[in-house]
Amino acid sequence: MPDGSSETPSGALDERLPLTPRQRAVLRTVIEQHVSSGAPVGSKQVAGKAGLEFASSTIRYELARLEELGFLDHPHTSAGRIPTDSGYRFYVDHILEEPCSSVPAVRSVQDALDAQEMRRELDTTLRQLAEVVSEATNLLGVVTAPAPGSATVRHVEVLELQPQLVMVVVITSTGDVTRRVFSLDGPVDPGLCEWAGAFLNERAGGMSVGARMIASRLEDPTLSAREQGFIHLLGQALTDLDEGAEPALYVGGQGRLLAETDRSVEAVEALLWALEVRYPLLATLRGALSHNEVYLMIGSELPEPELARLAIVAANYGIARRNLGTVSVMGPMRMDYRLAMSTVREAASALSELVGEVYE
């Protein structure tokens, strides 16, 4: 019989968790050994580790029990064990915060970004941040941009290009610049263009991009029919900004992913599929926007069968009472979850400080 010296006083399971302290220690060791080596873990690799000074027979018993409970599996009869989806999930939820002999050092994301350069263009920030978190974790870095409708109108310019051509330039709070050219039936009065620019800035400046809200602000019964028609035409440059637009997705580390020889073929294929299709990935990451802490989906928890060999660790960024997007890493279930969680948390915090200057 296995030594029961590390069981709870009654010898029963901890009522709060479905594993004894010794089983949790064995599971932690198996997962961390597997993450490090990529190979199945046998009893000899577990016995003698810190906190696990038990006979090999005791360790074998606990490994078998963990397999019965669905936390471990083995590729074939004589092989060691590998973690299952449930094993990784239990590790993340109940073991990861327990004391550990070594905590992976997290590269400072804030130091990795040039703040002055980044403040000029938000998309440059997001693109570089995806690469930074990928480099820090050796996983795929994925950052979602704020939805187009979450930006505000910073400035509107109405320019006469030709007597019958007018261009409306819209600059949003994120630095995005859109240009739209309108063709008129006859020559336009330059004074009307100047007035329209001032009117659109006054009514739409600072407003969130969105057809319904801005359209209502452009209605004014005191305007002449000519002025109303002109504003109604040019206003489309503002009201159509977010129609049907999906948030941009910035990915870093594709080359690093393909260069890693210890990645499973199935996991790499799943990652490439996710990047090619994108829509399921975007939908999955939107789920993080309802959370105010690090968000994980592991293996079969992911909604698409094609992603079942992967894990996603994400944290949202934004301003007070408003989440705007996510910073995440994505890769095989065999990942360093402590490092992944720390990295996305730090990156999201740094990005929140930056976007506060744009959206507040």
Q: Which domains does the chain have, with CATH numbers?
A: 21-95 (1.10.10.10), 109-146+247-359 (3.30.450.40), 150-239 (3.30.390.60)
Q: Which of 118, 120, 246 is nearest to 177 (CA)?
A: 120
Q: Quick check: 227 and 197 in contact, CB under 8 A?
A: no
Length of the chain: 360
Which two tokens mark 294? 């690090």
Query: Between residues 174 and 104, which one has the greater pLDDT?
Result: 174
Report the pLDDT value the prediction gives residue 211, as an integer from 0 to 100. Answer: 56
CA separation for the pair 211, 31 (Å, rounded): 50
Report the pLDDT value the prediction gives residue 258, as an integer from 0 to 100. Answer: 66
**Which three-class secondary structure string do you get for 108-167?**
CHHHHCCHHHHCCCHHHHHHHHHHHHHHHHCCEEEEECCCHHHCEEEEEEEEEEECCEEE
Partnered with residue 325 across adjacent β-strands are 317
pLDDT in tens, 280-332: 787 788 777 777 788 899 999 988 888 888 899 999 998 877 788 899 999 88
Q: Residue 332 belongs to what H/E stretch?
A: strand 322-332
Which two tokens mark 297? 């989906």
The rounded Cα 191 to chain-centroid distance in angstroms is: 47
Q: Which of 71, 62, 69 is nearest to 23 (CA)?
A: 62
Instruction: Choose the most confident range, by mean pLDDT, from 224-228, 252-256, 285-289.
Output: 224-228
pTM: 0.70
Report the pLDDT value the prediction gives residue 312, as an integer from 0 to 100. Answer: 93
* pLDDT above 90: percentage of residues in the chain: 34
Please say if the pLDDT value at position 100 is more than 80.
Answer: no
Please say if the pLDDT value at position 116 is more than 50.
Answer: no
CA separation for the pair 136, 53 (Å, rounded): 34
Please say if the pLDDT value at position 57 is more than 90.
Answer: no
Partnered with residue 172 across adjacent β-strands are 153
**pLDDT band, very low/low/confident/very high, at 165 (cuts 50, 70, 90):** very high
**pLDDT band, very low/low/confident/very high, at 245 (cuts 50, 70, 90):** low
DSSP label at residue 23: H
**pLDDT band, very low/low/confident/very high, at 157 (cuts 50, 70, 90):** very high
3-state class percentages of the chain: helix first, strand second, coil last, to nearest 5: 45, 20, 35
Q: What average pLDDT does this structure show over 260-283?
A: 74
Query: Between residues 86 and 263, which one has the greater pLDDT?
Result: 86
